[in-house]
């Protein structure tokens, strides 16, 4: 397969060709230092090496696998084959092909059938931005029949080189599975990134995304739910904040193929300074997906006159017996909320911070741990500090 | 003693004059009530005092202890001691009620003397119980999904936490059931002291049975047309606004002028 001959993925209204996301060299950097996890259930991978690991014995006994993807290649080829390239075909576009060919780090999580995991599973990826090379990672998640998990996947940059990231995530929610996949993407201002997550959701399975995009650099993010099964359900809740001169562009896609499937997209974005935020949402109902439902709501707050925001909803419907709808808006801070908070003595600055937090409140509330919620709250305050 | 003084106040909303010369003085230690027909400008007065940006003072003045409020931002007015329990409080998701109240209290204190979480929670628990509110309410998002009555109760809780000098209560009784009305009134009466004054806007004489005012003002056509004692409210309940208008010889059209007759017809 000639990678070069494939097209770049489509991110409507996002000019990203000059970012050269198709020209990456994987970094070999690794570190034994963990930066985020201390006693949580989960794994932290720094560069190509595992720097933190904790999976309780009872889960090991139930057959749960959680490993660095490099270990998986040698020790669990069977589980790997079940996932790798199965949700996202390797030749989908130039960037997925590049990731498939060059990834040299990542995580495999395999949850067998009938396994209910109450604790949040942390998947932490640290890009080690040293030596100028790029970070190319793959995350694979399989959740078996009637199993239930909550995943909190975080991605950070350690180091200050100017580099690129390619992160591709494939998730399978098998029959009757229930998956909450929350991610906190926080790559640095010197990292230009391509992030792509895609899920295969089978009969009566649910997969809910809580996608928090708090990167500081140029980023395109693609998120796709394939509602393949009858009664498959997916909510994609997205919150993003852009500042300085960065651009973050999204392509969020729900594909209803199964009968009575439901796909809802809910996006909230806040744009500061000279930055750009683009939300593209596509609700696609395939012929035969009778009784299915496709909805989307995208709202963008512009806090600066120099900011650029776009919310483009699209419905592609090829079946009559369905329900679908969309709403989109680009607006400014709610004056009545500001007034209410200030009438209690809060400064304009604090009131603004709270109103902005409130604007993204639906997504914030769904973030699975208090610690992660607090991290997002702090990140909001931090970005507002640089506002002008 | 703190004094809120309103002199010949004219206020316009989107270019339309709503208040046409209001005069009113509220001292701490006093309870004032304002009554008046719908759309006559009662909420407009309260918003103008607090400084809502949509309400423009076109002439006249509002001062707090001699200081001109027109030069102060909304948050400065609040920190100077004013409080407005709103007719329609905003909902804000992602911010808990408790966090918001602590921020409001700490906004009044110097950076070096912020109220600790422990002290705050103790105070909050006490006031909350006083108003028969569950601890769950404190952890919920600010007014989000609160019922009409819960919102009103929450406004009073905020008032008790913040301890303002002068509180304007805009229809704090609307939407309250009979028991809730008693609870909320208990909260307001509890605040009653030489260091606290209030201006209550209400449509119902009933509230004034629980919170007995020192003064009752009647507002019509953007002005205060009569001031009296608690008895004035009782008289209004019996005679309606049209009766008072005719007695005063005012030239004001009331939308619901025929209300009494309509009720009478229905009963025939
Ligand atoms: N923000 C606004 N925009 C436009 N018109 C307004 C606004 N606020 C008030 N008004 C108008 O000003 C007039 C007075 O309204 P206000 O809310 O002050 O009445 P009120 O006396 O409080 O009535 P109610 O008893 O119904 O609460 C009304 O005609 C109202 O429509
Ligand atoms: Mg009113």
Q: Count up the domains in chain A and report the number.
A: 1
Three-state DSSP class for A85?
coil
- Ligand 1 centroid–CA B43 distance in Å is 6
Q: Is residue A352 part of a domain?
A: no
Q: Of B159, B144, B138, B148, nearest to B211 (Cα)?
A: B159
Q: Shortest Cα distance from B23 to chain A (angstroms)? A: 23
User: Are B92 and A340 within 8 A, CB to CB?
Assistant: yes
The alpha carbon of residue A199 and the mean position of all alpha carbons in its chain are separated, in whole angstroms, by 11
The DSSP-derived string for B114-150 is: PPPHHHHHHHHHHHHHHTT--HHHHHSEETTT--HHH
- Ligand 1 centroid–CA B86 distance in Å is 13
Instruction: Say if A361 is an interface residue toward chain B (CB within 8 Å).
Output: yes
User: Are A358 and B100 within 8 A, CB to CB?
Assistant: no
The DSSP-derived string for A206-250 is: EEEEEEEE--SS-EEEEEEEEE-STT-EEEEEEEEEE-TT-EEEE
User: Are B73 and A344 within 8 A, CB to CB?
Assistant: no
Task: Render pLDDT for B229-251 as a digit per residue (tens, 0 to 9).
Answer: 999 999 998 888 988 898 898 88
Q: Is B154 in the pocket of ligand 1 (CB under 6 A)?
A: no
The DSSP-derived string for B8-39 is: EEEEEETTEEEEEEEEEEEETT-EEEEE--TT
Task: Render pLDDT for A158-208 as a digit per residue (tens, 0 to 9).
Answer: 999 999 999 999 999 999 999 999 999 999 999 999 999 999 999 999 999
Domain ranges of chain B: 3-239
Q: Which residues contact B219 (CB under 8 A, 6 or more apart)?
A: B22, B34, B35, B36, B40, B41, B42, B45, B225
Task: Render pLDDT for A238-277 as a digit per residue (tens, 0 to 9).
Answer: 999 999 999 999 999 999 999 999 999 999 999 999 999 9
B51, B52, B104 member nearest A344 (Cβ): B104
- Does residue A388 carry a pLDDT above 80? no
Q: Is B38 in the pocket of ligand 1 (CB under 6 A)?
A: yes
Q: Is B47 in the pocket of ligand 1 (CB under 6 A)?
A: no
Tell me the ipTM for this assembly: 0.93
- Does residue B147 carry a pLDDT above 70? yes
pLDDT, mean of residues B158-185: 94
d(CA A352, CA B51): 17
- Does this model's pTM top 0.80? My answer is yes
- Indicate the pLDDT class of residue B255, thresholds 50, 70 and 90: confident
Q: Is residue A349 part of a domain?
A: no
Q: Is B40 in the pocket of ligand 1 (CB under 6 A)?
A: yes
| CATH domain B3-239 topology | Rossmann fold (3.40.50)
Query: Which ligand 1 atom lies nearest to the CA of residue B41?
Result: 18
User: Are B95 and A354 within 8 A, CB to CB?
Assistant: yes
Q: Is residue A192 part of a domain?
A: yes
The residue contributing the CA closest to ligand 1 atom 19 is: B39
Q: Shortest Cα distance from A305 to chain B (angstroms)? A: 21
- Indicate the pLDDT class of residue A79, thresholds 50, 70 and 90: very high
d(CA A323, CA A336): 33
Q: Shortest Cα distance from B252 to chain A (angstroms)? A: 31
In DSSP terms, which residues pair with A167 in a beta bridge?
A137, A195
| Full domain range(s) for residue A264 | 3-332
Mean pLDDT of chain A: 96
Q: Is B46 in the pocket of ligand 1 (CB under 6 A)?
A: no
Q: Is B252 in the pocket of ligand 1 (CB under 6 A)?
A: no
The ligand placed nearest to the CA atom of residue B203 is 1
> CA of A360: which chain B residue's CA is closest?
B94
pLDDT, mean of residues B188-205: 95
Task: Render pLDDT for A294-328 as a digit per residue (tens, 0 to 9).
Answer: 999 999 999 988 999 999 999 999 999 999 999 99
- Ligand 1 centroid–CA B13 distance in Å is 9
Task: Render pLDDT for A10-39 as a digit per residue (tens, 0 to 9).
Answer: 999 999 999 999 999 999 999 999 999 999
User: Are A348 and B78 within 8 A, CB to CB?
Assistant: no
Which residue in B85, B94, B95, B159 has the most chain A C-beta atoms within 10 A of its own C-beta, making it the best mutation to test that interface?
B94
User: Are B78 and A362 within 8 A, CB to CB?
Assistant: no
Residues from chain B that touch A362, judged by Cβ atoms under 8 A, are 93-94
Contact B8, B60 (CB under 8 A): yes
Q: Is B202 in the pocket of ligand 1 (CB under 6 A)?
A: no
Q: Is residue A384 part of a domain?
A: no
Instruction: Say if A374 is an interface residue toward chain B (CB within 8 Å).
Output: no
- Ligand 2 centroid–CA B201 distance in Å is 8
Q: Which pLDDT score is estimated for B239?
A: 87
Residues from chain B that touch A347, judged by Cβ atoms under 8 A, are 75, 107
Q: Which pLDDT score is estimated for B243?
A: 87
Strand order in the sheet with B31-35: B82-85, B166-170, B197-201, B31-35, B215-220, B223-228
B78, B86, B92 member nearest A358 (Cβ): B92
Q: Which residues contact B264 (CB under 8 A, 6 or more apart)?
A: none
């Amino acid at each position: 397969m000639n990678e070069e001959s494939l097209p770049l993925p489509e991110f409507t209204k996002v000019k990203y060709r000059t970012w050269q996301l198709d020209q990456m060299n994987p970094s070999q950097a690794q570190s034994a230092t963990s930066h985020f996890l201390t006693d949580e259930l989960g794994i932290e991978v720094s560069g190509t090496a595992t720097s933190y690991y904790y999976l309780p014995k009872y889960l090991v006994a139930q057959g749960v696998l959680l490993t660095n993807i490099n270990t998986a290649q040698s020790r669990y080829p069977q589980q790997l084959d079940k996932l790798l390239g199965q949700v996202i075909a390797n030749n989908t576009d130039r960037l997925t092909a590049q990731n498939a060919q060059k990834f040299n780090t990542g995580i495999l999580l395999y949850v067998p059938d009938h396994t209910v995991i109450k604790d949040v599973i942390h998947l932490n990826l640290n890009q080690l931005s040293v030596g100028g090379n790029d970070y190319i990672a793959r995350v694979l998640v399989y959740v078996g029949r009637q199993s239930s998990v909550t995943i909190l996947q975080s991605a950070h940059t350690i180091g200050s080189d100017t580099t690129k990231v390619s992160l591709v995530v494939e998730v399978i929610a098998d029959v009757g599975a229930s998956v909450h996949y929350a991610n906190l993407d926080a790559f640095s201002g010197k990292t230009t990134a391509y992030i792509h997550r895609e899920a295969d959701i089978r009969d009566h399975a649910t997969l809910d995304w809580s996608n928090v995009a708090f990167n500081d650099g140029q980023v395109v993010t693609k998120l796709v739910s394939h509602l393949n099964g009858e009664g498959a359900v997916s909510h994609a809740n997205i919150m993003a904040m852009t500042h300085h001169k960065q651009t973050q562009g999204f392509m969020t896609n729900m594909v209803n193929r199964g009968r009575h499937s439901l796909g809802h997209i809910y996006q909230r974005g806040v744009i500061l300074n000279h930055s750009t935020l683009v939300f593209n949402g596509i609700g696609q109902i395939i012929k035969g997906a009778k009784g299915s439902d496709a909805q989307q709501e995208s709202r963008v707050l512009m806090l600066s006159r120099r900011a650029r925001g776009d919310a483009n909803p699209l419905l592609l419907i090829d079946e009559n017996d369905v329900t679908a709808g969309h709403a989109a808006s680009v607006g400014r801070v709610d004056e009545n909320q500001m007034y209410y908070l200030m009438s209690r003595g809060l400064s304009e600055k604090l009131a603004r911070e709270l109103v902005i937090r409130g604007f993204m409140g639906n997504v914030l509330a769904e973030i699975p741990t208090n610690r992660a919620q607090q991290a997002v709250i702090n990140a909001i305050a931090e970005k507002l500090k640089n506002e002008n | 003693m703190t004094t809120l003084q309103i002199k010949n106040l004219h206020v316009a909303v989107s270019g339309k004059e709503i208040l046409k010369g209001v005069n009113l003085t509220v001292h701490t230690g006093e309870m004032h009530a304002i009554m008046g027909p719908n759309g006559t400008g009662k909420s407009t007065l309260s918003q103008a005092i607090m400084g809502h940006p949509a309400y423009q003072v076109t002439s006249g003045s509002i001062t707090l202890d001699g200081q001109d409020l027109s030069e102060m931002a909304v948050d400065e007015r609040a920190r100077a001691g004013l409080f407005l329990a709103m007719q329609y409080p905003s909902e804000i998701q992602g911010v808990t009620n408790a966090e918001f109240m602590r921020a409001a209290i700490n906004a009044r204190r110097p950076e070096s003397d912020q109220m600790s979480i422990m002290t705050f929670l103790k105070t909050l628990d006490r006031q909350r119980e006083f108003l028969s509110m569950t601890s769950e309410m404190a952890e919920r998002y600010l007014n989000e999904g609160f019922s009409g009555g819960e919102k009103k109760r929450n406004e009073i809780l905020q008032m008790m936490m913040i301890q303002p000098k002068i509180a304007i209560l805009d229809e704090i009784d609307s939407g309250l059931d009979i028991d809730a009305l008693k609870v909320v009134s208990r909260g307001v009466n509890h605040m009653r002291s030489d260091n606290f004054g209030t201006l209550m806007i209400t449509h119902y004489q009933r509230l004034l049975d629980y919170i007995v005012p020192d003064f009752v003002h009647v507002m019509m056509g953007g002005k205060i047309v009569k001031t009296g004692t608690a008895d004035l409210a009782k008289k209004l309940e019996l005679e309606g606004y049209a009766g008072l208008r005719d007695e005063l010889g005012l030239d004001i059209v009331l939308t619901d002028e025929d209300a009494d007759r309509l009720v009478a017809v229905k009963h025939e």
